[in-house]
Amino acid sequence: MNSKKSFNPVVARINGPTVTSGGMAGAQMYEVVKVGELGLIGEVVRLIGDRATIQVYEDTTMLKPGAPIQRTGQPLSVWLGPGLVGNIYDGIQRPLPGIQAHSGAWIRRGEKMPALDLEKRWTFEPCVQPGETVVAGQAVGHVAETPLVKHHVMLPPDVSGKVNSIVGKGEYNLRETLAVIETAAGPREITMLQKWPVRVPRPIRERLRIVEPLITGQRIIDTFFPIGKGGAAAIPGGFGTGKTITQHQLAKWSDAEIIVFIGCGERGNEMTEVLREFPELKDPRTGRPLMERTILIANTSNMPVAAREVSIYTGITLAEYYRDMGKSVAVFADSTSRWAEALRELAARLEEMPAEEGFPATLPTRLAQFYERGGAVTTLAGERGSVSIVGAVSPPGGDFSEPVTQHTRRFIRCFWALDTTLANARHYPSINWLQSYSEYVEDVGAWWEKQSPDWSEMRTEALTLLQREDRLQQIVKLVGPDALPDSQRLILFIAEIFKDGFLAQNAFDETDMYCPPERQVALLRIILTLYRRGRDLIQAGAPLARLRGLVCVPLLMRAKSSIGTAEKLAELEKRVGEELDVLAKEFLKKIEQPA
């Protein structure tokens, strides 16, 4: 009984990226529509009667009232299949290299291009037989997507049954039928290409306890504030504290099998640096190009704000797809503050009631929806997979009490607080060891203790020493270091070695940019050996000046960049012990002489 108007919706009102349309009776929330003669991609975000508010993911310049609107009846979805890894997309999964080859450096309004190459042929190897019973999410075959990624061609989450037929090993494109599955609802054809709504989490069998750390090669993170595979962390910091560089380091060196880097609202020059660097970087574990296990999503600050809002969901959906193959995936979002600003702008245009600092009242819910899509899980097919999420937060003026930072802390268990003072002192990563914390320490402790049984004890001792040093610095500011006894000056001395020789890490040094766990443990043990034995000597009356004058001290300060293996560090530890033995014998001989 709908009127003719309901079948021909047109633009009635335009307010930046939001468009109001009449004649939308029967439309659904989050349904994708095409707006105007160019078919700009939009999404229904509000329905009142037959009027709909549409969020347009492209520039609405020159769009006029009366322009036609075409409904699709489908939610905003991403394409899933071989060809994702190594690609670069915008916020709505348009392939940027393909657009550049077709249209040049600028994305034209209404530009459309398949997210995956539909004609490329992939070598498919079946792994099931006709007559075999298969379950949802199970792989029916494999494709070598890159030399580093074995892509599982999985059944969709709603398909299970018996294999009627399956093709043999050979080359096929994404749309060719590979298998036919007899389900309760009838036969289903399986291809390499799947689609999934970005706002709907992919189903799992169960959530698992996190037991393994995500090794990043950054000493202050791995040793002091580790994140588990499947964990969630935030990197908050003011302008210039190194959020983007820290995330780049984590994306380059973390031991996840798949990396999804989302440039969400950041400056174009920073994203350009990522796009130029990553194709040239080598994976430290395999020596292969890092892009062979990386997906980049670029939605810079000059791109449409609505696409920035959805880019987060695009990235996390791609991550869930590879998680369902039983892989560990790391998602880096830079930055969630720019994403929250997009929410604020869109909420204002939708005339929603603002909450703190103008952000929408739904901000905590939206943050929770994002971070809760991470985790270590058992997939539908029984595999163990994980999605680890690291979100950068850009609080104005470095104020951690602002809403995005505060709400983010509710949904994460690892907090790496960047410090402006450390950044100004050129101490990178500028993670403040007094403000940061990790609740994954107990979860991953068993893994670390396999590397070193005394890891937990050493970590606690080192952090305690740094906390004591911070308190002593308050006294030093008042009376100077010379007023302190040697036992307390030793703490200042060892803390200095910790800061310069362990916590600081040079991202441009070939040896220091990545520090494997065994080197981290060895370096930590040497510094603590110097502290423990030095403390005993000073208690016996030895002067601190003799400790500072040991030949091994400058070697220890340079060890992070001059010694590249744990074996060489073991030699340094032996040398430190020998020099301390000589000092102990010399001192004991003096105090044993009669007055």
Q: Which residue has the tokens 């899509």?
A: 373
**124, 136, 149, 158 from 194: Cα distances, Å:** 16, 13, 18, 12
**Assigned domain for 213 exists:** yes
DSSP assignment, residue 68?
Answer: B
What local confidence, expressed as pLDDT, does residue 467 receive?
Answer: 96
What CA–CA distances, in Å, run from 77 to 38, 159, 173, 374? 20, 19, 20, 19
Provide the pLDDT for residue 564.
Answer: 87
Which of 441, 409, 456 lies closest to 226 in space, CA to CA? 441
Q: What is the pLDDT of residue 589?
A: 60
Instruction: Give a yes or no: residue 178 inside a domain.
Output: yes
Same domain, 335 and 436: yes
Q: 285-331, pLDDT tens digit by residue? A: 788 888 899 999 988 887 888 888 899 999 999 999 999 999 999 99
CA 189 to chain centre: 35
The whole-number pLDDT of residue 306 equals 87
**How many domains, the chain?**
4
Q: In sequence order, what DSSP letters do the residues of 184-232 get, joined into one string?
A: TTEEEEE-S-EEEETTSPPP-SEE----SB---S-HIIIIIS--BTT-E
Q: What is the DSSP letter of 360?
A: B
Q: How far is CA 513 from CA 250, 402, 499, 562, in A?
A: 11, 32, 16, 12
DSSP string, 105-131: SSPPTT----SS-SS--EEEEE-S-TT
Predicted confidence (pLDDT) at residue 284 exceeds the cutoff of 80: no
Q: Are residues 286 and 429 in the same domain?
A: yes
Determine the Cα–Cα distance for residues 319 and 374; give it in Å rounded to an integer.
9
Q: What is the pLDDT of residue 328?
A: 97
Whether 327 and 374 share a structural domain: yes
Burial class (CB in 10 A: 0-12, 13-18, 19+), 88: buried
Report whether 264 contacts 339 (CB < 8 A): yes
Domain assignment of residue 80, yes or no = no
What confidence score (pLDDT) does residue 286 get?
Answer: 82
* pLDDT tens digit sequence for 213-225: 999 999 999 999 9
CA distances from 565 to 497, 500, 572 (A): 19, 19, 11
pLDDT of residue 595: 43
User: H or E segment at 332?
Assistant: strand 328-334
Report residue 257 CA to chain centroid gap. Answer: 12
Same domain for 432 and 296, yes or no, is: yes
Identify the CATH number of the domain in which residue 129 sits: 2.40.50.100
The helix or strand, by DSSP H or E, that contains position 54, with its residue range, turns out to be strand 51-56
Tokens (6 digits) for 293 = 């296990």
- Is-contact 550 572, C-beta < 8 A? no
| Residue 215 sits in the same domain as residue 163 | no
pLDDT, one tens digit per residue, over 504-550 is 999 889 899 999 999 999 999 999 999 999 999 998 888 999 999 99
**Mean pLDDT along residues 390-398:** 92
Asked whether residue 487 falls in the same domain as residue 339, the answer is: no
Q: Of 47, 75, 103, which residue sits at a domain end?
A: 75
Instruction: Decide if pLDDT at 594 tops 50.
Output: no
Q: What is the DSSP letter of 565?
A: S
Task: Tell me if 77 sits within 8 A of 187, measured CB to CB.
Answer: no
Six token digits for residue 165: 């037929």
Mean pLDDT throughout 74-84? 96
Confidence of residue 266 (pLDDT cuts 50, 70, 90): confident
Whether the pLDDT of residue 593 is over 70: the answer is no
Phi first, then psi, for residue 541 (nearest 5°) are: 110, 5
Where does residue 421 rank: exposed (0-12), middle (13-18), buried (19+ CB within 10 A)? Answer: exposed
Which pTM does this prediction carry? 0.93
Structural domain contains residue 199:
no
Q: What is the mean pLDDT of the segment spanning 70-78?
A: 94
Per-range mean pLDDT, top range of 194-208, 238-252, 478-492: 194-208
Closest listed residue to residue 200, CA positions, set 413, 382, 29, 410: 29
In a domain, 88, yes or no: no
The domain that contains 475 carries what CATH number? 1.10.1140.10
Local structure of 42: helix, strand or coil: strand
Helix, strand, coil shares of the chain as percentages rounded to 5? 40, 25, 35
Collapsed DSSP state (helix, strand, coil) of residue 335: coil
Q: Give the three-state DSSP class for 160.
A: coil
Residues 485 and 531 in one domain: yes
Is residue 214, in this structure, part of any structural domain at all? yes
Average pLDDT over residues 87-104: 88
Shortest CA distance to 515 belongs to which of 530, 505, 527?
Answer: 505
Q: Tell me, what CATH number does 232's domain have?
A: 3.40.50.300
User: What pLDDT does 7 receive?
Assistant: 60
At 376 the pLDDT is 97
pLDDT band at 586 (very low <50, low <70, confident <90, very high): confident
Question: How would you write 459-524 as a 3-class SS string?
Answer: HHHHHHHHHHHHHHHHHHHHHCHHHCCHHHHHHHHHHHHHHHHHHCCCCCCCCCCCCCHHHHHHHH
Q: Which residue has the higher pLDDT, 108 or 77?
A: 77
In a shared domain, residues 422 and 474: no
Residue 437 half-sphere exposure toward CB, CA atoms < 13 A: 5
pLDDT in tens, 488-509: 999 999 999 999 999 999 988 9
Together in a domain, 290 and 426: yes
Mean per-residue pLDDT, 437-461: 95
Specify if 556 maps to a domain.
yes
For residue 182, the enclosing domain spans 117-192
Q: In terms of domains, do 174 and 213 share one?
A: no
Average pLDDT score over the chain:
92
Q: Residue 41 is part of a domain; what is its CATH number?
A: 2.40.30.20
Other Cβ atoms closer than 10 A to 457:
12
Tell which residue, 167, 218, 224, 220, has the closest CA to residue 190.
Answer: 167
Last residue of some domain: 143, 163, 192? 192
Q: What is the pLDDT of residue 482?
A: 87
Per-residue 3-state assignment (H helix, E strand, C coil) for 382-438 = CCEEEEEEEEEECCHHHCCCCHHHHHHHCCCCEECCECHHHHHCCCCCCECCCCCEE
Q: Is 541 exposed, middle or buried (0-12, 13-18, 19+ CB in 10 A)?
A: exposed
Sign of torsion over alpha carbons 182, 186, 187, 188: negative
Average pLDDT score over residue span 452-461: 96
Q: Does some domain include residue 343?
A: yes
Residues 20 and 71 in one domain: yes
Quick check: 497 and 466 in contact, CB under 8 A? no
Kindly state the percentage of the chain with pLDDT values over 90.
77
160 is written with which tokens? Answer: 């299970």
* Domain final residue pick, 134, 168, 192: 192
pLDDT over threshold 60, residue 590? no
397 plus 497 within the same structural domain:
no
CA 561 remoteness from chain centre:
26
